[in-house]
Structure 1
Amino acid sequence: MTKVFRRRRREQPEQAFEQERAAPVRETGPWDADEPHPDNDRIDLGGLRLPHNPDFDVRLASVGDQHVGVVVLYQESTLQLQALAAPRSSGLWDEVKTKIRGQAKDLTEQEGPFGSELTGEIKAEGGPRSVRYLGIDGPRWFLLGVVSGKGTHDEAISEAFVDFIKDVVVVRGDEPMAREEPIPLRRPNEQTGEVADQGPGLNPFKRGPEISEIR
């Protein structure tokens, strides 16, 4: 069942003040939580803070009791996002690309908005499926995005997904983590304990951030 949660600002007041004083050094993200970045309204899932877009349906992907990624549904297309721990000394994208191409040899490498990416078709239940793999190396983290459906070739949907990724904030944390270990995610209410209610002033026809689970 899909539950609707309150949106919360991702920074405390003193943190927001620091963000106002320090302007972002880059035009777009994805951002590291410790670098200056725009103080936009985001959905706080712990290891990922996602831009709030009422047109997107955001779902947590879980393995057992662990939330390992998110799936964003939009216009008959999906964007899967997963944040992994990476070494300080080097990124993971080159290594991950090699692994992906070892399993899907027909993919083509090309330049995209985040650097090199892989596109093409993979074998799936029901027949071949068009996919697009985007990888972004950050400080001690790696963000993998996988687009499937119309978003692989429809320019408008593709741009919407790219804009979404550009406003993602990755929260790596200081805890020791193994190489390629998924950065932990959580449901919003696991931190705040607050669930939206149908109170006065709430427009029932305006969608908010919807977080359900895929297992």
Structure 2
Amino acid sequence: MFRRRRREQPEQAAEVTPQAPMRESGPWDADEPHPDLERIDLGGLRLPHNPAFDVRLASVGDKHVGVVVLWEESSLQLQALAAPKSSGLWEEVRTKIRSAAKTLEEREGPLGIELAGKVTVEGAERPARYLGVDGPRWFLLGVVNGRAAVDDELAAGFTDFIKDIVVVRGDEPMAREESIPLRRPSDQPAADEPERPDTDPFKRGPEISETR
């Protein structure tokens, strides 16, 4: 579990009153005004600190491509993907997910349209909720499994968590649906990043490969 806590600081000190957020809640883009709170800095994602949540990085090989949050016999899987400037990805991603899991149904949730129902994993059915948020040049996908997938009170804990995430897209060119790279809080970004793997966030493997 990541326990390192930090308060976000501006790159340059300036005696300027921070702008108030334009929206009531996030997830936030790093370049827009957002609450200055203590968050876990994972590079492409800055996560709110909640001591009750066990936060782990999900990896493909030696690349961190997502986050797994464990709480109350439930899990929340998060992936931040690069998106086009002109349009969001959630509608397209929903179509892909429903084609693979036809038992899922669309419904209105606290973050907008979501998918909910049961999915088959290793021959057994289990409840799942898919949450999607389109941001400026990024898309955030959340998958809730376990008790929180059917218990709205527990699910609210994960929803509040997502609403306070900051996504750091960066200015570098990225392929459509490419995972925004993550790192451990103690790691410093390298001057020359190696080529990122071509990962498919909708395949089962990468989402549950955890680094403890």
Q: Same fold by TM (over 0.5)?
A: yes
| CA RMSD after TM alignment | 2.0
Change (3 A) 1:139 1:214: same
1: CA distance between counterparts of 2:107 and 2:59? 30
Change (3 A) 1:17 1:81: farther
The residue number in structure 1 matching 2:22 is 25
The residue number in structure 2 matching 1:8 is 6
The residue number in structure 1 matching 2:132 is 135
Change (3 A) 1:153 1:46: same
Change (3 A) 1:4 1:72: closer
Matched, 1:84 2:81: yes
Give percent identity, aligned residues only: 68
2: CA distance between counterparts of 1:128 and 1:53? 30
Change (3 A) 1:4 1:161: closer
Q: Which has the larger radius of gyration?
A: 1
State the Cα distance separating 1:13 from its structure 2 match. Answer: 6.8
What one-letter code is carried by the residue in structure 2 that aligns with 1:115?
Answer: G
Q: Aligned residues, how many?
A: 193
Query: Is the contact between residue 2 and residue 40 of structure 2 (CA under 8 Å) also seen in structure 1?
Result: no
The residue number in structure 2 matching 1:153 is 150
1:45 to 12, 22, 42: 42
State the Cα distance separating 1:14 from its structure 2 match. Answer: 4.0
What one-letter code is carried by the residue in structure 1 that aligns with 2:158?
Answer: F
1:115 to 97, 112, 117: 112
Change (3 A) 1:4 1:24: closer
What one-letter code is carried by the residue in structure 2 that aligns with 1:22?
Answer: Q
Please list the CA deviations of residues 37-69 of structure 1 after superposition, one character each: whole Å capped at 9, or x if unmatched: 000110000000000000000000000011000
Change (3 A) 1:182 1:119: same
Change (3 A) 1:189 1:101: same
The residue number in structure 1 matching 2:161 is 164
- Residue 50 of structure 2 aligns to a residue in which SS? coil
Q: Which runs of 5+ in 2 are unaligned?
A: 190-208
Query: Is the contact between residue 32 and residue 139 of structure 1 (CA under 8 Å) also seen in structure 2?
Result: yes
What one-letter code is carried by the residue in structure 2 that aligns with 1:8?
Answer: R
- Residue 95 of structure 1 aligns to a residue in which SS? helix
1:102 to 96, 99, 102: 99
Query: Is the contact between residue 16 and residue 39 of structure 1 (CA under 8 Å) also seen in structure 2?
Result: no
Q: Which runs of 5+ in 1 are unaligned?
A: 193-211
State the Cα distance separating 1:152 from its structure 2 match. Answer: 1.0
The residue number in structure 1 matching 2:122 is 125
2: CA distance between counterparts of 1:12 and 1:36? 12
Change (3 A) 1:124 1:187: same
Please list the CA deviations of residues 87-137 of structure 1 after superposition, one character each: whole Å capped at 9, or x if unmatched: 000000010000000100011100011111000001012610100000000
Change (3 A) 1:156 1:177: same
- Residue 21 of structure 1 aligns to a residue in which SS? coil
Please list the CA deviations of residues 12-47 of structure 1 after superposition, one character each: whole Å capped at 9, or x if unmatched: 3746865x4300000000000000000011000000
